[in-house]
Each structure stands twice: as structure tokens, then as C-alpha cells.
Structure 1
Amino acid sequence: MSFRQPLLALLILASFLSGCASLDVPREPSQALPASQSSFGRSIQAQAAPYQGQSGFRLLSDSGEAFTARAELIRHAQVSLDLQYYIVHDGISTRMLVEEVLKAADRGVRVRILLDDTTSDGLDQIIATLAAHPQIQIRLFNPLHLGRSTGVTRAAGRLFNLSVQHRRMHNKLWLADNSAAIVGGRNLGDEYFDAEPNLNFTDIDMLSIGPVAEQLGHSFDQYWNSALSKPIEEFLSSQPTAADLQNTRTRLEESLEETRKQNHGLYQQLMKFTTDPRMDIWRKELIWAWNQALWDAPSKVLSKGEPDPHLLLTTQLAPELTGVSKELIMISAYFVPGQPGLVYLTGRADAGVSVNLLTNSLEATDVPAVHGGYAPYRKALLEHGVKLYELRRQPGDNYGSGPRVFYSKSFRGSDSSLHSKAMIFDRRKSFIGSFNFDPRSVLWNTEVGVLVDSPELAEHVRALALQGMAPTLSYQAKLEDGQVVWVTEDNGQMHTLTKEPGSWWRRFNSWFSTSVGLERML
């Protein structure tokens, strides 16, 4: 009897975890379409031709520009759109982009959308409805196969296979006609595009045009054709129909019309791409330079324990990390150096390199647990001369004439949190992408980014970093009598805090993650 009861319990649990019967969906491999197949792609090829293999770059640090660039690339696309994202949150900005994607599909553009499976939690049917369009394909990366029906069973399913399920596709890529791409730190959601009244993530994206877009197309193909990528229809009990798609489109149009009426200012701000397009202007502002697109191999996710170095983006970036000799600037929203990072950063500082890091303060971070992985290393880093700057919580009432990248223009009541990821090597090379300086980016998640060899672009990125490090915007952590203090400026006066700013709840979360040893998972 004692044996049969646990067996019965396991059978019941298995029935819950199974969720619903899945469909047998054909999974055909596909590749990025040549840029030469569209007049937009050919115009970029012609523009790039005089630069003999170099690509063109323009930073998109302003959240409004970042949204406009994505919307305009959809409108310019004639043959293909390849979109790869870790997070897609519902919101006004996302609905506008979805409407534009549907219009692109209507005019014959092939759309491939690859989402990390956590994106679709509880939304399989809604997301899959878009794939009812004959020109749209949607796949999920590293999907949960059992327990998709409820939040509880999803959590249980992930716990049962935690060694694989905690590894996520953190990549962010927007690619039009295999000729123009956007890489950087932004996911999709109102909080990334200055459209969320309660939170604005400050971030850095980069418009990347020319041969580099083709490199990024190869990265997308590797993930899309990976055995880890599954058509979303596999997880449905029935296929969405054309009628379902039409119903979704009707509700989408009604939602946007309601936004136009109820929040006209925000609607007009986001729809500016229809009345004041910028892409042609930005193409004239491009910085042309040699570059290299870098990405983790998709199979990194399947590694037993730590992945082999040949699978890692950091292995490709290693020559720059070890070769920096004068100045290293890092912007990392989530910074957990671990022992290897501590050895690296202090070693560079001991060798005479000026090492400067901008990350979130405890009061500003959206993940206090990650701060718990950083705080224990602060003192050792400072002892070796590493300069640490922690972006302050920026409430809207204090907004004013500061740098636009660190402020919300639309919602003066919205808090600002750093989400950027960038590195600048010796004021010559810069790396922009999805990579944070933490164990999760190095070992567990997959990432993508572009390394650009251009002193001009590096100066632009460096200027953004220095803006964020200004004492009016950040705390500079320093040592005073062997203790960490925080130096900042308010109302034109410098002052020193001996207690780390942040609520008791944030302190508890930070302390807890340290106490239970979560560091290698952060």
C-alpha cells in the first residue's frame, strides 16, 4: 500500500504536467534571405560598397529612437524580418510593433520570430495566433515540454528539469532584409521605450547596417535551426485558424484606437515614425568601421555543467579583455564578477589600466538579488583601484536638464533603472550587446553583440558612460577607513553616505541571495 500511494501521486502529477496534447508540426530548416532580393537591401549594399567590407553603426541610446528604428525597419523590410527576443511584454509599444509586423506579412515579407520560452508563459495560444498568418513562423527556444497548462505546473516542470530550464536565450536581435539590424540590451515592452508610467529602463542599442547584418543573420539561423527551437504550434491542442487571426487583429486595432483616445500624447509619441521617419537621416550619420558579430553557440544550453570555452561569446571577446592596456569602461546593469571576474578586473587595475564600472545601485536595481552577488566583491575591487559607480534611483520629480539617456521624457513620475550593457577598450573598440558581466551571461544564458573597432564610436559610448557616472546621477563607491561609503551630489553639494541607500526589503533580498549561495546562478 505504501508503494502504490506514491505511484498514484506520481501518475496524477504527470497528468497535470502533461497539460494538453501537442500537435505534430513539421519543422523545416530555413536560412536568412539574401539582402540582394530587396531594393532596401540593395540600397544598403550600394551604400556600404565604398567601405570595402566595413559596416555602418549608429547608437540608439534614446528610448524613443530605439522604438522608431524598430518600427521603421519593419516598414522598410521587403523580403524578411528575423526577430529574436528574451522578453516580450504586452503593452502599447508591443501592440504597435505587432500591428506593423502583421502589415509586413500582408505584403509578403517572411517573418521568423524566435522567443525564449519564458516569454510565452501562459500565452501560447495568443502568440501562436499570429503564426496562423501564412507568412509568420514562431518558434520557442529551450521550451518546457511538460506542465505548460498553468503557472503552478510550469514552475514544477522547470524544477524537474532545472539543469536545462534555468539556461535561457537572452539574445536580442532585430533584423530586416538581412541588411539592417538592431542589437543591444532592450527587450520588447513599454518599460524599454519610455512608454511605461512606473518604470523606464535606460539602455543602449545600436543600429548596425551592411555586412555585419549578414553575420547576425547567420547567428539567427543557428538558433532558428537548432534542435532546441520548436514551433509554438507543437504546444497547442488545436491550430489557430484564419478566423482566430482576424479576431486578434480586430481586437488589436480596437486596443490601439482606445489608446489613441485615452492616452493621445503617448500614442502620438510612439507613432512619430509614421509622420517623422528618421531612417534616411540616420543612414547619413553612420560611423563606418571594421567589426565582428559575436554570439554564444546555441548548444551552450545543453552543456553538462560549465560549457566548453569554444561555445562561448566570452572566448571570442577574450583578446580584447586581455589586451586592454590603458582604459577599460564597463556598463553592466547586472554585475556579479565572481572570483574569475575579480581576478581579471583587479589584475588589469594592478597592471595600470584605468578600470571603471557603471552598474545599478541597490535602490535602483530591478533585481536586488543580483546586487547581493555584487556587494561582497566591492571592497576588494576598490582596494585594487577599480572605480565603481552605482546609478541612483532617478525619480521623475528630479528630472530636468540631465542627459536624455538617463531620464524619462514622457513620464516624470517614472523611476529609472539601468539596463545597458557595453564595454569600451582603450577608447578604441566598443562592444554593444545583450551581455552582462555576470555568471549567468558567461556560463548559462546565450548572448549576442557586436564588437566595433572605431575610436569615434567608442567616444560616443564612453560619453554615455561618463554621463551615467556623474555624481548627480550615481553614487561613487569608495573606501573610507576600510569601509565602503557612497559619494554623490545633491543640489550642487557633494556629500558622503555611510549607509547603503535602499529599502529594508531590498537589503533583505540582497542579503538572502548572498546567504543561500545563489551567486553562480545570478
Structure 2
Amino acid sequence: MDIPTIVTTVILIVEYAMKIIAVGVVPENRRPSSSSAWLLLILFLPLVGFPLYWLIGSPYMSGRRQKVQQAADEVLRQHTGDLPMLPADTEASRSLERIIQMNRTLTGMPCMTGEVLDMLDDPAQTYAAMAAEVDKASRYVHVQFYIMAWDDTTDVFFQALARAVQRGVRVRLLVDDMGSRKYAGWKQFKKRLTEVGVDWHLMLPIDILRGRWRRPDLRNHRKLLVVDGDMALVGSHNLIDPHYASKKNLKVGRRWHDLSVVVSGDIILEIEAVFAMDWYVECGEVLDPEEHFIDKPDLVPGGAANAMQLVPSGPGHPTEPNQRMFVALMHLAKESLTIVSPYFVPDEALLGAITSAVFRGVDVELFVGAEADQFIVGHAQRSYYAALLEAGVKIYLYPAPTVLHSKHMTVDDRIGVIGSSNMDYRSFALDYEIMLMAFGGNLVDLLQAQDAAYREVSHLLTLDEWRGQPWPSRYLDNVCRLTSALM
């Protein structure tokens, strides 16, 4: 045999050996849809599939971050082990109590109480309200957002941080490296934070020259603000102009519509715990419990007071607590279920829970944007519309060019959930997220008022209308549905 023939033979042997190995390795502890997508990529495009799987394909996360998460969860369980399953004078059905127990088992977070101070949607008003709270700070301010930019819209907030530092307030800030670096003024943004005295750190940074490396597909997608332990904000807002610093978006009128909630009470202890863990991971500082974890007066659910439970999730939680909570709550619904999600690519369990709710006679509504800002996810999302519509789900398309970026859900007239998590594989497994579940108070009413506003301006998609979609569009949707399982 000549040398070219020998080389070709060796390459074929190695290629087929790796394919055979992949068939037995890739499906381990992975969703069937994800396994199928990875195997197709590896079998048809091995030169692309093998390196990509090696880089981002593993469903596991190991190393320091996972160990820190496990240690933090254990500390939470030790310090909250004597707390009852429900706060005093709180009523919940046995089914809801079991969901609360599940959340607590998976994350260490107990059910506590909190008061809803405000609900914010308009970006300018949101940043102004955040700035007003920072101006009241006397001890510390904790800021953690996926995307940040110091622009004309957010200037009011960052100027408030600068004033707080001048008063002697400790300002700690976390921002996701990959989430923010693509926006104009990134280097200047970091420089300005340093100049005004903010103690800032990057979340999940990649800096090969300094030996900082991690999986490039991971993100810290959380959004939260804590001021003196007296108030906190969680939701879907990023700290950036609603046009996301894009002249094209500004020209066509595309802006992001978000929703965040401002709370007080004991629930802040859990929000603070999430920040404390992320802060320790990125800079190694342990926050002083005597300064940052001070018990608040007990509240009795009713009116603005709610029973609340924070559900953090991410690669450090391989059990995917947010996905399990969503599915459990959907199975709990008896009368109505309303879902608002900008990126809706359900896995088998989520899709089954939603359609099963319809078959039980539950009125199920899904609010999504008429046009998505992300090509692959947008088309993957569309691929599920036929199955949802055939089951009887009401799909409301929020009018373009606005991007409906709010992330919340209501179950019957009893339970509300709001936070940073989308309903897709990325938010379940690859992104660090937080969701706030509440019942017994006014959060559900506030979320349902938002839903009513969305419903008034949205287009109700019909099955006949959807069946009229051209074949090339459906083909593209299905291809993107397959590739979305890789992301």
C-alpha cells in the first residue's frame, strides 16, 4: 500500500472509531433531543462536531465553580434547616407545599416572606427608581446584571452609584464578561467604574493571557440589585438603553420591553445569598454575615406581603431547579396558566406539561414576540407553534418591532413567578438564573395586569393562519429547532 492509501485508511479507522464511541458517550445524562442533535452533527460533520462537542458539548460542569456552589448550598441548608416549610400564618395547598419542598431540596432556599414595593417596566423609569433607592443607601449597594453599558439612559443610575461611593457607601458590582463586551464603550465603561470607586468584577471572564479560562458557552444571566439589605430588585431588565446601543434598532424602532419587581422583607436574604455566592466565586471575598444577613420583621401574607421563594439555577445546579419548578407549576394549574417568555424552546417535559394542562381544561396562554431578535432561537421557537395550537394553547404575538423580553408566569389566581430565566435549554442548563415565586399576596394580580396589557395589543395566532406558513419557512424552523438543542 502507498502512503496516501495508508493515511486515508488510518483517518477512516479513527473517524469511525470516534463515531462509535460518540454513540455510547453522547447520550449519557442528556435529553434525547440534545443527544440526537449532537450525534447528527458528529456523524455528518465530524470535523466540526468533534471539536465543538469537546469544547461545549458536555452536560456536566466540574471544577471550582461547582464545588463552591455545592458548599454554598450546604451552608444554606445548615443555617435554614430549622425553618418551617412555610412562614407563620401562611396557607398553601399540599401540592404547592411539595413544590416548595422540591425547590428547597434542590437549592437550599426556604420559603420566606416579602413585600412587593413596585413593579417596573419602562427602562428610563426603572433606572430612575433604582437610582433613587441607591441615593438612600448608607452602607452598601450590590449590583449584578448580565449586560451593562453606561449610556444616556443608564447614566442616572451610574451617577447614583458614584454619589454613593462619595458618601462612603461600599458599591460592589458584577457584570457578565461575554454578555457586555460586545457593546460599544466597553473599555471606557470599565474605566469609568474604576474612576468613580466602584468595586467591580467580571462574571465568567475569559482572559487566556492571564490564565482565566472556562467554557465559552456559559453565561451569568442574573439581574439583581440590593440596597442596604432593605430593598431588592429582580427581573428581566439589563442595564442598557432599550435599543441595545444599535443604530439599526433605533432606526426601525426596535426596543426591548422588560419587567422587574422591587421587594423588601426576608426574601432579600435569599437574593443577597445569591449575590454573595457569585461575588465570592469571582473575587474571593466572603461577605460579612453580620452586615449582610440581618433578619427582617416577619410579614403575614396578604396585600403587598407575599410568601416568596427564590429559585437560583445554573451550571452549578445540574438538577435544573428552574425547569423543574416550571413543569411542576404547570401540572398544578387547574383554571389558568399564562406564560410570558421571549425565548420559548421547550424540552419534552415542558411541552408535555403545557399541553397536558390544556387537555385538563386549563386556559393556557403563551405570550411571545411576533419577531425574535435571535435568528436560531426565534425559528426554533416557531417550530413548536403547530403542536401548541393543535393542543389548544392560545399564542399571543406581541407586535414587532418591540422585543417582548419579560419573563414571568402565573398559575390560576394563586401563584406568580418572575425573574431572569427564559424557557429554553440555555436558561435551564447553561445560564445562571434566578426566579422569584410568590403566592398569598398581590404579585399575581400585578403580573395579570401586565398580561392584560400585553393581550390588548397582541395578535392572537390561529391554527389556520399558522398552517398557511410557506414550506421553506417551516423547513427553516425545523432545522433551527434541531440546532437549538446544541446551544
TM above 0.5, yes or no, is yes
Q: What corresponds to 2:219 in structure 1?
A: 168
Q: Counterparts of 1:108 and 1:389 in 2: how far apart (Å)?
A: 48
Indicate the RMSD between aligned Cα atoms, in angstroms: 3.5
TM-score (norm: length of structure 2): 0.65
Question: Are the structure 2 counterparts of residues 286 and 133 from structure 1 closer, same or farther at C-alpha, using a change threshold of 3 Å?
Answer: farther
TM-superposed deviation, 1:456: 3.3
Alignment of 1:48-447 (within 5 A): 54-57=113-116, 58-121=118-181, 125-130=187-192, 132=194, 136-146=198-208, 164-191=215-242, 197=250, 198-226=253-281, 229-230=282-283, 287-296=304-313, 299-300=316-317, 308-309=318-319, 312-316=321-325, 319-362=328-371, 365-393=372-400, 415-447=401-433
Partners of 1:192 and 1:203 within 8 A in 2 = no
Q: What corresponds to 1:484 in structure 2?
A: 466
Partners of 2:380 and 2:477 within 8 A in 1 = no
Question: Are the structure 2 counterparts of residues 180 and 455 from structure 1 closer, same or farther at C-alpha, using a change threshold of 3 Å?
Answer: closer
Other structure's SS at 1:222 match: helix
Partners of 2:144 and 2:223 within 8 A in 1 = yes
Other structure's SS at 2:436 match: strand
Partners of 1:293 and 1:448 within 8 A in 2 = yes
Other structure's SS at 1:518 match: helix
Q: Counterparts of 2:197 and 2:257 in 1: how far apart (Å)?
A: 34
Q: Counterparts of 2:452 and 2:313 in 1: how far apart (Å)?
A: 29
Question: Are the structure 2 counterparts of residues 202 and 132 from structure 1 closer, same or farther at C-alpha, using a change threshold of 3 Å?
Answer: closer
Aligned amino acid, residue 465 of structure 1: D
Question: Are the structure 2 counterparts of residues 317 and 358 from structure 1 closer, same or farther at C-alpha, using a change threshold of 3 Å?
Answer: closer
Partners of 2:235 and 2:407 within 8 A in 1 = yes
Partners of 2:114 and 2:263 within 8 A in 1 = yes
Other structure's SS at 1:372 match: helix
Other structure's SS at 1:190 match: coil
Question: Are the structure 2 counterparts of residues 294 and 221 from structure 1 closer, same or farther at C-alpha, using a change threshold of 3 Å?
Answer: same
Q: Paired residues, what number?
A: 356
Question: Are the structure 2 counterparts of residues 175 and 59 from structure 1 closer, same or farther at C-alpha, using a change threshold of 3 Å?
Answer: same
Partners of 1:55 and 1:288 within 8 A in 2 = yes
TM-superposed deviation, 1:521: 4.5
Q: Counterparts of 2:196 and 2:153 in 1: how far apart (Å)?
A: 24
Q: What corresponds to 1:267 in structure 2?
A: none
TM-superposed deviation, 1:328: 0.7
Question: Are the structure 2 counterparts of residues 515 and 206 from structure 1 closer, same or farther at C-alpha, using a change threshold of 3 Å?
Answer: closer
Q: Counterparts of 2:484 and 2:459 in 1: how far apart (Å)?
A: 23
Q: What corresponds to 2:483 in structure 1?
A: 518
TM-superposed deviation, 1:211: 1.3
Question: Are the structure 2 counterparts of residues 427 and 178 from structure 1 closer, same or farther at C-alpha, using a change threshold of 3 Å?
Answer: same
Question: Are the structure 2 counterparts of residues 55 and 474 from structure 1 closer, same or farther at C-alpha, using a change threshold of 3 Å?
Answer: same
Other structure's SS at 2:485 match: helix
Q: Counterparts of 2:303 and 2:221 in 1: how far apart (Å)?
A: 27
Other structure's SS at 2:208 match: coil
TM-superposed deviation, 1:130: 4.5
Q: Counterparts of 1:389 and 1:120 in 2: how far apart (Å)?
A: 30
Q: Counterparts of 2:217 and 2:224 in 1: how far apart (Å)?
A: 21
TM-superposed deviation, 1:297: 5.2
Q: Counterparts of 2:190 and 2:130 in 1: how far apart (Å)?
A: 22
TM-superposed deviation, 1:177: 0.7
